[in-house]
Chain A
Amino acid sequence: MGTLKKMKLVLAALTFYAVVQVLNLAGILNGYFMVIINRSLIAVIFAVSLNLINGITGQFSLGHMGFAAVGAYVSGTLTTLFFHLNLNHPFDNLGFLAAILLGGLMASLAGFLIGFPSLRLKGDYLAIVTLGFGEIIRTILNNISYVGGPRGLLGIPKFSNFTVIFLFALATIVLIRNLVQSSIGRSMLSIRENELASELVGVDTTRYKVLGFVVGAFFAGIGGGLLAHLLQIAHPTQYGFYASALILIMVYVGGIGSLTGSIIAAFSLTFLTEGLRVGIDWLRDTVGVPIGTEWTMVIYAVLLILIMLFKTEGLMGMREAKILIIKEKEG
């Protein structure tokens, strides 16, 4: 019985997977939906991992997509330029998984490096350092002609599909949830609430702050690798400040510190963008309202402002859905 309860999250996730797959095979969800779902799942990976840094550990990172860039370029270079992996080769899928994980590891190394300044800096100052980090990554990539320079890394084989992305997203959620609800996570939370007090009661704040960056960066790197192998291109401009800010918005809209919130926000904001695109076309063509496509972003921004005004703490606040909480044994 206890195991079943623990497995609830996995069961729910598998149900989601099965429903999407069946609807897709039945032709109800077309390729367009699948692209949106894939992008939502990758956004989930980014948002949940950023939440670990910003929401749980209480640090402030504006360069999350910089970690994604490291993951994308490392895994893309391995699969495309080093080993020339081929989709039709069954063993190459394993090579792809290894490349993605290696990309994540390199990103976490970058996270380790960026974690250091966080020992000295707080709040706005740390935000500027991480912002600078993202830009440095982008500039470096622009200047390495081996990985395409400003042309981007091209011709990446399309290894990512719904199944792979789903499994990685699920793993991200489960692992980060377990981490947050372990003693390590409690220590991270204590740093967020009051760094001085937690240090006084014996929490090794340095260690947990760096750990937050390392783990967050690892999953961002994984997400970056998956995205590159989905779009078949990795381009320096994809990982700039604007992209990082979009992920940050998801974390805040969902509720800072709430993994459930990040998941919901990643899905709803990705669907919302596309919904507005289709909705505005519909308004113009069917209803006859004279409105241009460029209004999509205006309405999107207005909706964000409204959410922030009326749900300042985000959709979920700091709560978690029951399904994401590990029950402690009584007695």
Chain B
Amino acid sequence: MKKTYLFTLGLAVGAILPFIGCNKNKDIVIGGVAPLTGEAATFGTSTKQGYDLAVAEWNAKGGVLGKQIKLAFADDKGDPAEGATVYTKLIEQDKAIAILGTVMSKVSLAGAPICQAAKIPMIATASTNPKVTDVGPFIFRACYIDPFQGTVGAKFAFDELKARKAACLFDVGNDYPKGLSEFFKAKFTALGGEVVGFEGHATGTSDFKAQLTKVLAAKPDLLYISDYYSDVAIMAKQARELGFKGPMLGGDGWDSPKLIEIAGSAVEGCFFTNHYAKEDKAPVVQEFVMKYTDKYKAAPDALAALAYDAANIMLDAITRAGATDGAAIQAALGKTDLRVVTGQVKFDEKRNPVKSAVIIEIKGGHEVYKTTIAP
């Protein structure tokens, strides 16, 4: 009996000990949140690397407001409950003056009320759910929202690809693909096109032939696949096997070198909307791609770019605010007009960035910049 209590006591003391005596340095602390483990771990890794790169650059230039920047990073595991805990930790324990993150909308939605209540400005990097910034005036985001990407996709399909009959395929268990398909459908129909198929599939399946056969029977000119690259690759292959010859179009979930690796020629001549193109000649883009590739030995994906941008937007706002209090930074953020990797960023009245989207074409086994579509 005594041994048990001692054991428990030891466990408790061991668990509580690290909390004592933290953060006594004089740096400016910026919080960073991303899912390093869990279902979105690959996105989280890119995101963290984006934060790290931006903060390292600013520190090399002398930091912000004459002080070095310390990035207090926390893993949200892609879970809302963890999210609520880590946002509180960064604010209360690490005394972060501003927070970057996070990727998944459900986690940002759990973190946003905490930042709003503490009046700590927050920039979500890749949370596309419109509700995130609705939480309050301290919540911003670096990416465009679902309606925008779906709308741009529909515009491109109708105007440039001259498609008149489209079919949508998406994962019903995931808010992002579902939202994208819904907004694509709305815009495409409004433009005068016809959506001849609108089929969801369950999360984690790898056989889409039933859904594909059904939508292909209606003879669409174009398939709009709003899933993530892993599903897209399999779906594209199966669509080709079933004899579909037209173009396929998707969203930024396609942005991964793995897509072409898995799908091969099946995705040749397909398009997707994205946040930026690596071939963009703008110096800020080229410099970012070069530095990132140099440091991490991998090409930066859209999530890394968005994280890098979020950090730059925040640090730029702190510089302009000239102060570290939340209200001043929030006011400065609202007046942002900055060229970052994913475009010229200004915030609208709902604190969503107003910027353009690019269309990427898959040509000869490579991702090639096709065009830019303004909102």
User: In the complex the two chains form, is A149's CB within 8 Å of B18's CB?
Assistant: no
With contact pairs A152-B175, A268-B12, A272-B15 given, residues A227 and B113 touching in the complex (Cβ less than 8 Å): no
Contacts of A158 in B (CB 8 A): 113
Interface of A, helix, strand, loop or mixed by DSSP? helix
CB < 8 Å neighbour of B7 from A154, A227, A281, A315: A315
A181 within 8 A of B: no
CB < 8 Å neighbour of A264 from B8, B129, B175: B8
CB < 8 Å neighbour of A231 from B8, B105, B110, B202: B110
Kindly provide the distance from the CB of A228 to the nearest chain B CB, expressed in whole angstroms. 10
**Nearest chain-A residue to B3 (Cβ)?**
A311
Contacts of A264 in B (CB 8 A): 8
Contacts of B11 in A (CB 8 A): 268, 272
| Separation of A281 and B96 alpha carbons in the complex (Å) | 15
A230 within 8 A of B: yes
User: In the complex the two chains form, is B109's CB within 8 Å of A233's CB?
Assistant: yes
CB < 8 Å neighbour of A294 from B18, B36, B81, B86: B36
Contacts of B81 in A (CB 8 A): 39, 227, 231, 238
| Separation of A39 and B83 alpha carbons in the complex (Å) | 12
User: In the complex the two chains form, is B129's CB within 8 Å of A151's CB?
Assistant: yes
Contacts of B92 in A (CB 8 A): 30-32
User: In the complex the two chains form, is B8's CB within 8 Å of A275's CB?
Assistant: no
User: In the complex the two chains form, is A139's CB within 8 Å of B175's CB?
Assistant: no
With contact pairs A32-B89, A272-B11, A294-B37 given, residues A236 and B173 touching in the complex (Cβ less than 8 Å): yes
B350 within 8 A of A: no
User: In the complex the two chains form, is A233's CB within 8 Å of B80's CB?
Assistant: yes
Contacts of B19 in A (CB 8 A): 33, 274-275, 278
| Separation of A276 and B17 alpha carbons in the complex (Å) | 10
CB < 8 Å neighbour of B4 from A236, A294, A315: A315
A235 within 8 A of B: yes
A277 within 8 A of B: yes
B73 within 8 A of A: yes
With contact pairs A151-B179, A231-B110 given, residues A271 and B173 touching in the complex (Cβ less than 8 Å): no
Map CB proximity to B onto A272-289 as digits: 1 under 8 Å, 0 otherwise. Answer: 101111110110000000
CB < 8 Å neighbour of A311 from B7, B41, B88, B179: B7
User: In the complex the two chains form, is B80's CB within 8 Å of A235's CB?
Assistant: yes
**Nearest chain-B residue to A155 (Cβ)?**
B131
With contact pairs A268-B8, A272-B11, A278-B22 given, residues A30 and B93 touching in the complex (Cβ less than 8 Å): yes
| Separation of A236 and B37 alpha carbons in the complex (Å) | 19
User: In the complex the two chains form, is B75's CB within 8 Å of A294's CB?
Assistant: yes
B1 within 8 A of A: yes
Contacts of A267 in B (CB 8 A): 12
B216 within 8 A of A: no
A316 within 8 A of B: yes
CB < 8 Å neighbour of A275 from B16, B79, B178: B16
User: In the complex the two chains form, is A151's CB within 8 Å of B93's CB?
Assistant: no
B85 within 8 A of A: yes
| Separation of A212 and B18 alpha carbons in the complex (Å) | 39
| Separation of A315 and B6 alpha carbons in the complex (Å) | 10
Contacts of B131 in A (CB 8 A): 151, 154-155
Contacts of A315 in B (CB 8 A): 4, 7-8
Kindly provide the distance from the CB of A157 to the nearest chain B CB, expressed in whole angstroms. 10
- Segment 1-51 of B: residues with Cβ below 8 Å from A: 1, 4, 7-8, 11-12, 14-19, 22, 36-37, 39, 41
Contacts of B129 in A (CB 8 A): 151
B84 within 8 A of A: yes
Contacts of B175 in A (CB 8 A): 149-152
**Nearest chain-B residue to A234 (Cβ)?**
B80
User: In the complex the two chains form, is B202's CB within 8 Å of A139's CB?
Assistant: yes
- Segment 190-245 of A: residues with Cβ below 8 Å from B: 227, 230-233, 235-238
**Nearest chain-A residue to B24 (Cβ)?**
A286
A171 within 8 A of B: no
| Separation of A317 and B7 alpha carbons in the complex (Å) | 13
With contact pairs A268-B11, A275-B15, A297-B37 given, residues A152 and B88 touching in the complex (Cβ less than 8 Å): no
| Separation of A154 and B16 alpha carbons in the complex (Å) | 33
User: In the complex the two chains form, is A152's CB within 8 Å of B15's CB?
Assistant: no
- Segment 136-180 of A: residues with Cβ below 8 Å from B: 139, 142-143, 149-152, 154-155, 158
User: In the complex the two chains form, is B4's CB within 8 Å of A35's CB?
Assistant: no
CB < 8 Å neighbour of A278 from B18, B41, B88, B106: B18
A61 within 8 A of B: no
**Nearest chain-A residue to B129 (Cβ)?**
A151
With contact pairs A235-B80, A271-B15 given, residues A31 and B172 touching in the complex (Cβ less than 8 Å): no
A-B contact pairs, 21 of them (CB 8 A): A30-B92, A31-B88, A33-B19, A36-B85, A143-B172, A151-B129, A152-B80, A152-B175, A158-B113, A231-B84, A232-B113, A233-B80, A235-B106, A237-B78, A238-B81, A268-B11, A272-B11, A292-B36, A294-B36, A311-B4, A317-B4
Nearest first, the 8 closest Cβ-Cβ pairs linking A and B are A279-B18, A275-B15, A151-B175, A271-B15, A31-B92, A30-B92, A32-B92, A150-B175
